[in-house]
Structure 1
Amino acid sequence: MSIHPLPPPKEPTGLGRLPVARWFLAIGTLAGVTFAAGFAVIMTILGDAVALSQRTDVDAQIARLNTALLLVFGLLLACGLGLVFVVRFAVLKPIDQLTEQVRAVAGGDFDRDLHVDRPAELAELSSHIDSMRRRVVSAWRVASDQAEELRRSNSELEQFAYVASHDLQEPLRKVASFTQMLEQRYGEQLDDRARQYIHYAVDGAKRMQLLINDLLDFSRVGRVNGGRSPMDAGAALDRALDNLSAALEDADAVVTRDELPRVDGNASQLTQLFQNLVENAVKFRSAEPPRIHIGVRRDGDMWEFSCSDNGIGVNQKYADRIFLIFQRLHARDVYPGTGIGLALCRKIVEYHGGRLWLDGDADGHGTTFRWLLPAAGDGR
């Protein structure tokens, strides 16, 4: 199986650094030394007792005591050796076998069976671990198949994006241009209804081109525009405001900001993020001139940005719907657009490891969007 091996286990600390075999060896050595010392002391005492007494019955009793002690010590020694044998072959050796099997699985051999025959507790434990291994491997294979299917689907989407950017837009340009040429050449021969039909055809072709371009921008996020690096968020906002300078001037809009930090991001995508949010604030303005504020505050290892305006606002029940692609809350003739702007903003933020949401608890009128971006140098 082509899967990465598991990370190395954590190093034990304290007394847990010593293996079980060394504990048994240390305790067995201590017991053997104590046993030998006790045997020597008892034999010395018995020897002294024999030297002090010359009575025959006492000598016979001491001889029987020596025999009993030797028998007891012999039985204790046999029990100790039997315990060593049991621990070595019934506990330590199965643990070593299970450890080797687990180490092989951790090293990448995920098809390796985990099984020991004894003792009953270790056999049950190995059975549970092996069952867990089989379930994990089965789930990984399913996920691998799904990932492969996803890669295939993404490849087809990339091919579709290529077709959309080249093959689909050319016919649309021809429809729009030749329809306009038709109006220019035969305009005097057309009545008002014919001119209206021509206007509808040109407008539809142009809106289709805009829709295709927006879809291409949406599909390119995180795939074509390059990687991420430490950058100045204020510079991205400056470029966005420069792109919107004409629209801001026409709407008499005022944009204020906090001192923006450095973030780990993609310059072109963050420029597009700021541009879409500010453009929405200008588009969905109220009767008053737009007043837009870009704020920021630190939130752990992330920066929380906000874009607040004094526009018409968004009903909180549509807080999730507005981020769906092609979802519109207003008619196209009231507010133009393709309905993909906020979906694109959310995809850009999620590509950067953050999230974008509508702040329903913001004070005052208008709309406040908040989003998280990783701080520069945090390794996110």
Structure 2
Amino acid sequence: MSIHPLPPPKAPTGLGRLPVAQWFVLLGVLAAVTFVAGVVIVLTMSTQAAALNPSPDLAAHLSRLNAALIVVFALLLGLGVGLVATVRYAVLKPIDQLTAQVRTVAGGDFDHDLHVDRPAELAELSSHIDSMRARIVSAWRVATDQAEELRRSNGELEQFAYVASHDLQEPLRKVASFTQMLEQRYGPQLDERARQYIHFAVDGAKRMQLLINDLLDFSRVGRVTGERSVVDSGAALDRALENLSATIEDAEATVTRDELPPVSGNELQLTQLFQNLIENAVKFRSEAPPRVHIGVRRDGDMWEFSCSDNGIGVEPKYADRIFLIFQRLHPRDVYPGTGIGLALCRKIVEYHGGQLWLDGEGGDGATFRWTLPMVGGEG
């Protein structure tokens, strides 16, 4: 299996820039120079001592000392050669092998085995690294299979969305329209219960159409609504208020705002985000006329927006549940809707790389906060 190579390693700093082999060569040269200097010094001193015509006993002692020094120097020379061979074949060569294997894996061939036989420390290290490589490759393959399955599932969902938008809505429209025509034509012949059944049928068909449309909007986020660009969030809010003008007027609501900045995002989705949050603020109002404020402040490299109202609020224990699709806190006959609005808002914000959360306590209105990325280079 070959995948994208890993990024290049960080450059070493300080004394670490010199490879281990060069360190051994440098120390070996210094040891050899010291050894040769010692031999030369000993031979020079022995020659000078012999030139002094020492007594026979002293001369014999000097001879034995010279022999001992020769043996010692020979042993040191043998140990030095043995040390060089040991370092070369037991340390440096295995390190080179392991380095070459790691480079192969880092280059993208993640099926390449990592293994050295010596020394014991490097053998253990290579075993651990190879075990990690195997686990990562296994997890990557599982993730690849899941991603492929997810792409296939998304394709099926897109096909379902097409069917829902066309093939399902047409029968619903026929059910609603023909049921209404039935009431208009045979109204005088129907009793009150029959009219009630007709009303239930029409209302169910309309609610199903609304649910299908909301599901389509939810599935389209990040898929068919266009690329991101620099969006004037104030203009997006204006379009949302224009779409809600009748609702706001009927509820005698007041919507105020801060000066909103440009953000990096999708214009249509941001308009939908403002529209859903303001519509919820107006829908879940208290006895007082609704007051909604759209605020913004800077938070690092993000803009933090807020939508505050004076409505019935949300209890803190439901702060996470309200963002789940189809989750409702109130009966449908009290507050109509499909239960998708806030889930759609969170999906839009997360698609833009931000977060949406509830910041408030029940009874004192509700405040929703969300973050959106700044325009590149802003500030």
TM band (smaller chain): over 0.9
The 3 A distance-change label for structure 1 pair 230 and 43 is farther
Shift of 1:268: 1.0
Residue by residue over 1:65-92, the C-alpha shift from the partner in whole angstroms, topping out at 9 and shown as x without a partner, is: 3333222212111111110000000011
- The answer (yes or no) to whether the contact 1:325–1:339 under 8 Å persists in 2 is yes
Shift of 1:302: 2.1
1:273 equivalent in structure 2:
273
Shift of 1:218: 0.4
- The answer (yes or no) to whether the contact 2:2–2:111 under 8 Å persists in 1 is no
The 3 A distance-change label for structure 1 pair 39 and 2 is closer
- The answer (yes or no) to whether the contact 1:281–1:311 under 8 Å persists in 2 is yes
SS at match of 2:230: strand
Confirm whether residue 80 of structure 1 aligns to residue 80 of structure 2.
yes
- The answer (yes or no) to whether the contact 2:254–2:290 under 8 Å persists in 1 is yes
SS at match of 1:171: helix
CA RMSD of aligned residues (A): 2.0
Shift of 1:195: 2.8
Confirm whether residue 154 of structure 1 aligns to residue 158 of structure 2.
no
Report the residue type matching 1:242 in the other structure.
E
Shift of 1:7: 2.4
Report the residue type matching 1:30 in the other structure.
L
Shift of 1:283: 0.7
Report the residue type matching 2:375 in the other structure.
A
- The answer (yes or no) to whether the contact 1:230–1:377 under 8 Å persists in 2 is no
2:172 equivalent in structure 1:
172
Give the TM-score of the pair, scaled to structure 1: 0.94
Confirm whether residue 190 of structure 1 aligns to residue 187 of structure 2.
no
Shift of 1:55: 4.5
1:117 equivalent in structure 2:
117
Give the TM-score of the pair, scaled to structure 2: 0.94
Shift of 1:361: 5.7
Report the residue type matching 1:250 in the other structure.
D
Residue by residue over 1:11-32, the C-alpha shift from the partner in whole angstroms, topping out at 9 and shown as x without a partner, is: 2111111111111011111111
1:376 equivalent in structure 2:
375
SS at match of 1:231: strand
SS at match of 1:305: strand
Report the residue type matching 2:46 in the other structure.
L
SS at match of 1:293: strand
Separation of aligned partners in 1, 2:260 and 2:42: 86
1:108 equivalent in structure 2:
108
Report the residue type matching 2:368 in the other structure.
F
The 3 A distance-change label for structure 1 pair 359 and 271 is same
Shift of 1:100: 1.1
2:331 equivalent in structure 1:
331
- The answer (yes or no) to whether the contact 1:310–1:365 under 8 Å persists in 2 is yes
2:296 equivalent in structure 1:
296
1:141 equivalent in structure 2:
141
1:310 equivalent in structure 2:
310
Shift of 1:338: 0.9
Moved more, 283-292 or 197-206: 197-206
SS at match of 2:110: coil
2:225 equivalent in structure 1:
225
Confirm whether residue 6 of structure 1 aligns to residue 6 of structure 2.
yes
- The answer (yes or no) to whether the contact 2:313–2:360 under 8 Å persists in 1 is no
- The answer (yes or no) to whether the contact 1:301–1:378 under 8 Å persists in 2 is no
Shift of 1:265: 1.4
Which ranges in structure 1 are unaligned for 5 or more consecutive residues? none
Separation of aligned partners in 2, 1:254 and 1:365: 17
Separation of aligned partners in 2, 1:13 and 1:250: 70
Separation of aligned partners in 1, 2:343 and 2:274: 13
Separation of aligned partners in 1, 2:9 and 2:2: 21
- The answer (yes or no) to whether the contact 1:303–1:375 under 8 Å persists in 2 is yes
Shift of 1:259: 2.1
Shift of 1:50: 2.7
Moved more, 324-333 or 177-186: 177-186
- The answer (yes or no) to whether the contact 2:314–2:361 under 8 Å persists in 1 is no
Separation of aligned partners in 1, 2:360 and 2:150: 35
Confirm whether residue 181 of structure 1 aligns to residue 185 of structure 2.
no
Separation of aligned partners in 1, 2:374 and 2:81: 64
Shift of 1:214: 0.3
Report the residue type matching 1:67 in the other structure.
A
The 3 A distance-change label for structure 1 pair 98 and 142 is same
Shift of 1:223: 0.7
Confirm whether residue 349 of structure 1 aligns to residue 349 of structure 2.
yes
- The answer (yes or no) to whether the contact 2:256–2:292 under 8 Å persists in 1 is yes
- The answer (yes or no) to whether the contact 1:114–1:129 under 8 Å persists in 2 is yes
Shift of 1:57: 4.5
- The answer (yes or no) to whether the contact 2:115–2:123 under 8 Å persists in 1 is yes
Shift of 1:56: 4.7
Residue by residue over 1:242-271, the C-alpha shift from the partner in whole angstroms, topping out at 9 and shown as x without a partner, is: 211221122221111222223221111111
Report the residue type matching 2:366 in the other structure.
T
Shift of 1:59: 4.2
Separation of aligned partners in 1, 2:19 and 2:297: 50
1:62 equivalent in structure 2:
62
2:92 equivalent in structure 1:
92
Shift of 1:368: 0.7
SS at match of 1:226: coil
Percent identity, aligned pairs only, is: 79
Residue by residue over 1:168-214, the C-alpha shift from the partner in whole angstroms, topping out at 9 and shown as x without a partner, is: 01111111222222233333333333333222222221111111000
Shift of 1:155: 1.4
Report the residue type matching 2:213 in the other structure.
N
The 3 A distance-change label for structure 1 pair 11 and 316 is same
